[in-house]
Chain A
């Protein structure tokens, strides 16, 4: 599903190159549940952003669903990512001015879906995550765990093949974190590929594969 070849990412700081990612090559198959681990500043998030198309590397090639991503025109590329990926963030990143329902609906609006289709999909998701009763609340009326569930529901609304999560439990207490992780495992079981960045060994353990990064380089790649 994902193939990275010799990915380099650096910043120029006063003439010297400051490497964030150094020669990363990686292959991830459909159906995997990958955890990326590593200390702060090891480049985990950057790697995730590159895989999500939010950021571009300085060098290297990226194949997503057999497509050479950087050879595509930007419009085509956006379409490819949009149709197949969902994002989950550490601080949820819900839109404060929109209700739970509207937040989940937003990606579908951008996809240009009709009203009845949207209603059906959002209804399904609310039902599935047990938040029907909260659909008219605003994000600040929810607990952190509930907000993250809404975030996940929103990410899943476009039925992505791949779910990217940047420290999804970072702002949650351990019980809430466990719930989210259980949810992830369940989703993975249903066929969604998941890549998550995490600090916690325990959370990483939910995945089937753990990639360790250190100073922008691949250090270890263990599959269970």
Chain B
């Protein structure tokens, strides 16, 4: 083989490579030019895809963040949380609880084998901390984990100062995370913090013995645990098996090759030994199980002290993300096939010059990929906007957490999927262009009817989604309106209420100062009414069991109790339907019950209940019913009105309820004078009043979140569907240009033509409405099942949704239709 030959070969391959390179550049250039010439469509395509990509990206980040929880904990598969389960003998239902009895800790430590690490985490709370050095006091709720040094073996903490071996040796030591340490000692080096003294609740002295860096990956521990002290011996030697508390958690790391059942079997045997008697006596049983750490983040039952995520919500999100992506791709297909007839000439000429099918497909795929990449760039802007709008929905830290390799891989995959999903069909169509027809100048015949039908199908599919979302948004809105405006059995308007903070309330010198406050407020401000006592509808609740004994029968019911003063029913304008208001007394004396209680105890009427007595659960005391109030809601509308009783007493109140004067204009001045009175009585606390109607609004927080989410999804789906419809309208207008021209020559009016063109689209949207209605109805019925008090789904919501969709569709289509109808028929009927 001589040198010359090799050289020629080299030149040949070089030229071939150059050629290829040139071809690619050429293709890229044409693609760019094409995209630029059709910039409106390119922009719409980019927008549509960017919305899809943004939604997918945000949802991916949320899902990834949630699923990555605890994954980076070393040997995670061997870490478990110990949970309690119980079951009554006469019921099938198994109860579960995160807290465990304290003695379990020592049993695990001393009498059970197979656990490599036993980590009790017993939480303690304080109200203030003083930094001894500066004497500065920080008032806040502080939660400390009392645990064993094993905690730091279970989790991969990095020590910034101090060391794992010495930091939790003695009970007077405290380990802080860097975040907490910065709060207490803003300017100090971590090393210098060691040995500093902190005084909790003015009495407990602790010395800083270590600083650890917060865990830098999503996990179930670092959001609530900032301070660690050694578990108290008293807790470790507790022998009360009876009590369980969500403050007492235990984690275990099993030894290698040990099944969790081996550990729980031993523990449950010991449990049986200590408590078997009790189980028999009270006809129930309790036992322990180990919850794998992998699942902990998704178990809301056992999620005390940490945030949990719902797998169902995540699946829902993934579904929405997938659908949005599909809708966006459908759009792209619609638009690019819509443009195909106009490109047919270029394609035909290319084909006549010998372009291979493969090259043609490549060109289309390249174009799609390019649009997808541009959309990807645009979605950076969109996601940053969305992140701001949806802050409330995003779990804290979702976007702080890196995991970038995977994220990059996801974006790449997403791009490829988009390019394939949306590029292949138009590419395939382009290869079907009939060259001869094109060169003869006939483009009308390019895309047969069947392809139009496919596109119509896609549009129906899109609008079906839009329709479902529109109807859902309407119904959720109606239900929320209903919950906020329906008669609650009391009047929530113009009422503000304030709680006296626990810390102040619990001090003996403040005892019943609130009575003075009430008198002063009534005397010195123009508040219409003032009452003391629990709000009628609230997140916290007291309940007790009462019995009604008549002859030989005994009815036993759980009743919610509201401790109030006599003015309470005036402030909330509750209606007495029988009897009278109760007279205040030191202890429980007379009862005013609601209608639900009347029914629960089986009284024939409200009047019949008057003078009857309810007895306490142990039968020791009985209280006469002196009045009956109309039913009033105590929980949200999700739950039926439970039996309730107003218990009127003289003191012990922590909440003040103020009815503002009728004239709204006076409110601001009234609130100022109210605050003045408050400050006189409680100078150390702020007058942190809340309008009661707003408080009730916040009780529907999750429903309002659903509403916002559904509204956002509705807007997005409508937008995407409109993009698709616009594409189809463009195509149809183009394909019917000739027909429109003929009709115009034959005397059709512009309005008539616009009608003719729009009619078909209205038909599509109507079909979508018909398909969507039962789906929306089903979904909303399911959603409404969560409410004991709910609206009936009205037929007109579907009509209204359909009408809205039709109007939106008409609006989208009209531009193209009008343009087509206004066009001069001379141009479309030219015979060249």
Q: Which of B740-772 contact A (CB under 8 A)?
A: 741-743, 745-749, 752
> Does residue B831 face the partner (Cβ distance < 8 Å to A)?
yes
Using A49-B826, A54-B824 as known contacts, say yes or no to A93 and B743 having CB atoms under 8 A apart.
no
Q: Which residues of B contact A82 (CB under 8 A)?
A: 747
A97–B732 CA distance with the chains assembled, in angstroms: 14
> Does residue A25 face the partner (Cβ distance < 8 Å to B)?
no
The reply to whether B829 and A106 contact each other, CB–CB distance below 8 Å, is no
The reply to whether B743 and A95 contact each other, CB–CB distance below 8 Å, is yes
Q: Distance in Å from the Cβ of B427 to the closest Cβ of chain A?
A: 28
> Does residue B158 face the partner (Cβ distance < 8 Å to A)?
no
> Does residue B738 face the partner (Cβ distance < 8 Å to A)?
yes
Q: Which residues of A contact B747 (CB under 8 A)?
A: 78, 82, 107, 110-111, 158
Q: Which of A132-178 contact B (CB under 8 A)?
A: 154, 158, 166-167, 170
| Among B738, B747, B748, B830: residue with most chain A CB under 10 A | B747
The reply to whether B745 and A95 contact each other, CB–CB distance below 8 Å, is no
A95–B742 CA distance with the chains assembled, in angstroms: 8
A105–B96 CA distance with the chains assembled, in angstroms: 78
Q: Which residues of A contact B748 (CB under 8 A)?
A: 110
From the candidates B741, B749, B752, name the one contacting A93 in the complex (CB within 8 A): B741
Q: Which residues of A contact B346 (CB under 8 A)?
A: none
Stretch from A10-18, A58-66, A83-91 contacting the other chain: A83-91
> Does residue A96 face the partner (Cβ distance < 8 Å to B)?
yes
A90–B748 CA distance with the chains assembled, in angstroms: 21
A89–B831 CA distance with the chains assembled, in angstroms: 8
Q: Which residues of B contact A90 (CB under 8 A)?
A: 831
A96–B746 CA distance with the chains assembled, in angstroms: 15
Q: Which residues of B contact A221 (CB under 8 A)?
A: none
> Does residue B825 face the partner (Cβ distance < 8 Å to A)?
yes
> Does residue A55 face the partner (Cβ distance < 8 Å to B)?
yes
The reply to whether A110 and B746 contact each other, CB–CB distance below 8 Å, is yes
The reply to whether B745 and A87 contact each other, CB–CB distance below 8 Å, is yes
> Does residue B599 face the partner (Cβ distance < 8 Å to A)?
no
A130–B277 CA distance with the chains assembled, in angstroms: 108
Classify the secondary structure of A's interface with B. loop
Q: Distance in Å from the Cβ of A76 to the closest Cβ of chain B?
A: 14
The reply to whether A54 and B825 contact each other, CB–CB distance below 8 Å, is yes
From the candidates A55, A110, A166, name the one contacting B831 in the complex (CB within 8 A): A166
From the candidates B739, B743, B831, name the one contacting A91 in the complex (CB within 8 A): B831
Q: Which residues of A contact B745 (CB under 8 A)?
A: 54, 87, 93
Q: Which residues of A contact B752 (CB under 8 A)?
A: 110
Using A54-B826, A89-B829 as known contacts, say yes or no to A106 and B739 having CB atoms under 8 A apart.
no
Q: Which residues of A contact B738 (CB under 8 A)?
A: 93
The reply to whether A167 and B743 contact each other, CB–CB distance below 8 Å, is no
Q: Distance in Å from the Cβ of A165 to the closest Cβ of chain B?
A: 12
B793-831 interface code vs A (CB 8 A; 1 in, 0 out):
000000000000000000000000000000011100111
Q: Distance in Å from the Cβ of B440 to the closest Cβ of chain A?
A: 12
A107: nearest residue on chain B (CB-CB)?
Answer: B746
A40: nearest residue on chain B (CB-CB)?
Answer: B832
From the candidates A78, A93, A111, A154, name the one contacting B829 in the complex (CB within 8 A): A93
A108–B829 CA distance with the chains assembled, in angstroms: 21
From the candidates B742, B749, B824, name the one contacting A55 in the complex (CB within 8 A): B824
Q: Which residues of A contact B830 (CB under 8 A)?
A: 45
Q: Distance in Å from the Cβ of B195 to the closest Cβ of chain A?
A: 88
The reply to whether B746 and A55 contact each other, CB–CB distance below 8 Å, is no
A91–B828 CA distance with the chains assembled, in angstroms: 12
The reply to whether A170 and B739 contact each other, CB–CB distance below 8 Å, is no
A41–B830 CA distance with the chains assembled, in angstroms: 13
Q: Distance in Å from the Cβ of B133 to the closest Cβ of chain A?
A: 86
A32-55 interface code vs B (CB 8 A; 1 in, 0 out):
000000000000010001000011
A35–B829 CA distance with the chains assembled, in angstroms: 20
Q: Which residues of B contact A49 (CB under 8 A)?
A: 826
The reply to whether B831 and A167 contact each other, CB–CB distance below 8 Å, is yes
From the candidates B739, B829, B831, name the one contacting A97 in the complex (CB within 8 A): B739
B749: nearest residue on chain A (CB-CB)?
Answer: A110
Q: Distance in Å from the Cβ of B828 to the closest Cβ of chain A?
A: 9
A111–B741 CA distance with the chains assembled, in angstroms: 17
A170–B832 CA distance with the chains assembled, in angstroms: 11
B831: nearest residue on chain A (CB-CB)?
Answer: A90
Q: Which residues of B contact A111 (CB under 8 A)?
A: 747
| Among A89, A166, A167: residue with most chain B CB under 10 A | A89
Using A55-B824, A93-B738 as known contacts, say yes or no to A106 and B743 having CB atoms under 8 A apart.
yes
Q: Which residues of B contact A97 (CB under 8 A)?
A: 739
A78: nearest residue on chain B (CB-CB)?
Answer: B747
Q: Which of A76-126 contact B (CB under 8 A)?
A: 78, 82, 87, 89-91, 93-97, 106-107, 110-111
A90–B831 CA distance with the chains assembled, in angstroms: 7
A97–B738 CA distance with the chains assembled, in angstroms: 12
A110–B747 CA distance with the chains assembled, in angstroms: 6
The reply to whether B746 and A106 contact each other, CB–CB distance below 8 Å, is yes
A71–B410 CA distance with the chains assembled, in angstroms: 67
Q: Which residues of A contact B739 (CB under 8 A)?
A: 95-97
Q: Which residues of B contact A170 (CB under 8 A)?
A: 831
Q: Which residues of B contact A93 (CB under 8 A)?
A: 738, 741-742, 745, 829
Q: Which residues of A contact B741 (CB under 8 A)?
A: 93
Q: Distance in Å from the Cβ of A19 to the closest Cβ of chain B?
A: 17
Q: Which of B703-747 contact A (CB under 8 A)?
A: 738-739, 741-743, 745-747
B825: nearest residue on chain A (CB-CB)?
Answer: A54
Q: Which residues of A contact B829 (CB under 8 A)?
A: 54, 89, 93
B442: nearest residue on chain A (CB-CB)?
Answer: A91
Q: Which residues of A contact B824 (CB under 8 A)?
A: 54-55
| Among A93, A106, A110, A170: residue with most chain B CB under 10 A | A93
Q: Distance in Å from the Cβ of B148 to the closest Cβ of chain A?
A: 83
A49–B745 CA distance with the chains assembled, in angstroms: 11
Q: Distance in Å from the Cβ of A156 to the closest Cβ of chain B?
A: 12
A166–B743 CA distance with the chains assembled, in angstroms: 17
A30–B825 CA distance with the chains assembled, in angstroms: 26
A90: nearest residue on chain B (CB-CB)?
Answer: B831
A158: nearest residue on chain B (CB-CB)?
Answer: B747
Q: Which residues of B contact A78 (CB under 8 A)?
A: 747
A90–B830 CA distance with the chains assembled, in angstroms: 9
Q: Distance in Å from the Cβ of B446 to the closest Cβ of chain A?
A: 14
Q: Distance in Å from the Cβ of B752 to the closest Cβ of chain A?
A: 8
B744: nearest residue on chain A (CB-CB)?
Answer: A54
A81: nearest residue on chain B (CB-CB)?
Answer: B747
A97–B740 CA distance with the chains assembled, in angstroms: 12
A94–B738 CA distance with the chains assembled, in angstroms: 9
Q: Distance in Å from the Cβ of B737 to the closest Cβ of chain A?
A: 12
A110–B580 CA distance with the chains assembled, in angstroms: 80
A98: nearest residue on chain B (CB-CB)?
Answer: B739
A75: nearest residue on chain B (CB-CB)?
Answer: B749
Q: Which residues of B contact A45 (CB under 8 A)?
A: 830-831
Q: Distance in Å from the Cβ of A91 to the closest Cβ of chain B?
A: 5
25 contacts across the A-B interface (CB closer than 8 A): A45-B830, A45-B831, A49-B826, A54-B745, A54-B826, A54-B829, A55-B826, A78-B747, A82-B747, A87-B745, A89-B829, A91-B831, A93-B741, A93-B745, A93-B829, A106-B746, A107-B746, A110-B746, A110-B747, A110-B749, A110-B752, A111-B747, A154-B746, A158-B747, A166-B831
Known contacts A78-B747, A158-B747, A167-B831, then 5 further A-B pairs from the complex at CB < 8 Å, ordered by chain A residue: A45-B831, A82-B747, A97-B739, A110-B748, A110-B752
Closest CB pairs A-B (n = 4): A110-B747, A90-B831, A107-B746, A82-B747
A→B interface (CB under 8 Å) = 45, 49, 54-55, 78, 82, 87, 89-91, 93-97, 106-107, 110-111, 154, 158, 166-167, 170
